[in-house]
Chain A
Amino acid sequence: MSSQARGRRAFRFILPALLCMLFVHVIPIFWGAYIAFIDLDIYTITRWMQAPFVGLRNFFTVFSPTTDVGVRYLRSIWNVVYFGLVTIPAGYLIGLLVALLLNRKFFGRTLVRGLILLPYITPDSVAYNVWRFIFQARIGIVNKYLLALGLIKEPIIWLVGDRAIYAVMIASVWKGWPFACLVLLAGLQSIPQELYEAAKIDGASSFGLFRFVTFPMLRPVSATLLLLSAIWNFHAFNQFYILLGADPGKAHVPSTFILQEAFTNFHFGQGAAMSVFLTVVVLLMTVVILRVRRRGEEW
Chain B
Amino acid sequence: MNTKADKIRAASIDPTYYQAVTEAIRTQAVKLLTEETVVAVVGYFPGRRQGTAIPALVTTPEQAEKLIFSPACVNNLTLFLTKAKKGVLKKGRVAIIAKGCDMRALAGLMGESQVKREDIFSIGIACAGVFGSGADRSGNLSEGNIAKKCRECSVHLPEGADLLVGTLPELSELTALEALEMARIEALPQAERWAFWKEHFTRCIRCMACRQVCPFCYCEQCLCDKNRPQAVESSPRPAGNMAWHIVRAMHLAGRCGGCAECERVCPMDIPLNLLNRRMAQELKELYDYEATTTPQEKGPLARYQENDDESFIK
Q: State whether these chains interact.
A: no
> Which residue numbers of A lie inside 8 Å of B, CB to CB?
none
> Which residue numbers of B lie inside 8 Å of A, CB to CB?
none
